[in-house]
């Protein structure tokens, strides 16, 4: 049971299964003493809430997202949501929904929104991280950028979690699986567990 979980958590837009959410909460809570949590790809904040609750009494979550949607969220694509489309700008905009959900969960003092891309934010990043959760763009270029930008900032014993792992290409995109395999083959990480499509590794 996760304390203070919002009653409407299942209505928040997102693509996170309940067993994956519980695993994120558990690992964020355990990693919190090692350093802040950094989430890459917050969308409307569903996963951010689980991470934020895990850090509520002594940690910080940096929620990094440009809030313009991934490739699959754009107009005409499979996961496009018209409710998250700013017709005036002609762009996806998830930031208002994200902020609203974080505020309703009472996590404004725990979650720090970072509205930009990995490449821009990582350029001068210096804070060691206790956990990194990668759930951003699912093109190979985007996934590789997220992996290369943030894994170097994980402390020894820190957790790397990667969402949407599909070993079978018929089941889903292969970019997250590619960086998961890259992490294992680097010799810098060991596998901790797999929960549904979430892979969890530890920095050696």
- Active site residue ranges: 138
Count other Cβ atoms within 10 Å, centred on residue 114. 19
Closest CA to 15 of 173, 169, 154, 189: 173
Three-state secondary structure string covering 19-83? HHHHHHHHHHHHHHHHCCEEEECCCCCHHHHHHHHHCCCCCCEEEECCCCCCHHHCCCCCCCCHH
């Amino acid at each position: 049971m996760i304390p203070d979980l919002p009653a409407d958590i299942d209505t928040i837009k997102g693509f996170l299964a309940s067993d994956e959410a519980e695993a994120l909460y558990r690992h964020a809570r355990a990693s919190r003493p090692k350093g802040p949590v950094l989430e890459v790809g917050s969308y409307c904040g569903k996963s951010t809430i689980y991470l934020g609750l895990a850090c509520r009494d002594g940690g910080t979550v940096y929620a990094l997202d440009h809030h313009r949607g991934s490739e699959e969220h754009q107009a005409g694509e499979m996961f496009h949501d018209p409710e998250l489309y700013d017709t005036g700008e002609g762009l996806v905009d998830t930031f208002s929904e994200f902020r609203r959900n974080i505020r309703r969960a009472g996590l404004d003092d725990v979650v720090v929104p970072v509205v930009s891309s990995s490449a821009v934010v990582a350029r001068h990043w210096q804070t060691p991280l206790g956990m990194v959760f990668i759930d951003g763009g699912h093109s190979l270029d985007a996934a590789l950028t997220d992996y290369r930008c943030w894994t170097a900032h994980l402390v020894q014993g820190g957790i790397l979690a990667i969402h949407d792992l599909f070993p079978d290409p018929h089941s889903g995109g292969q970019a997250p699986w590619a960086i998961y395999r890259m992490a294992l083959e680097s010799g810098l990480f060991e596998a901790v567990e797999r929960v549904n499509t979430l892979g969890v590794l530890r920095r050696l």
